[in-house]
């Protein structure tokens, strides 16, 4: 799926805070986006951890 620029801008704004409680409304596209944006932030980044966990949990769904 191709994610629109408007959607990516919205996600960038919504998921920018590494310390914010991760949302429960993830799907694979959103999780991959969050994971790529927060990659390298370290083990304190809650957004990265939630997105990576979602990707691992749903790897077989694709």
DSSP string covering 15-57: T--TTSPPPS---HHHHHHHHHHHTTS-TT-HHHHHHHHHHHH
CB 9 within 8 A of CB 37: no
Position 25 scores a pLDDT of 87
pLDDT band for position 43 (cuts 50, 70, 90): confident
Is residue 33 scored above 90 in pLDDT?
yes
Average pLDDT over residues 24-43: 92
pLDDT digits (tens, 9 = 90+) for 6-32: 998 999 999 999 999 878 889 999 999
24: phi then psi, degrees, rounded to nearest 5: -105, 5
């Amino acid at each position: 799926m191709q994610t629109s620029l408007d959607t990516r801008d919205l996600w960038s704004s919504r998921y920018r805070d590494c310390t914010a409680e991760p949302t429960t409304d993830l799907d694979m596209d959103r999780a991959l986006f969050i994971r790529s944006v927060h990659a390298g932030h370290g083990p304190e980044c809650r957004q990265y951890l939630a997105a990576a966990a979602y990707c691992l949990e749903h790897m077989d769904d694709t």
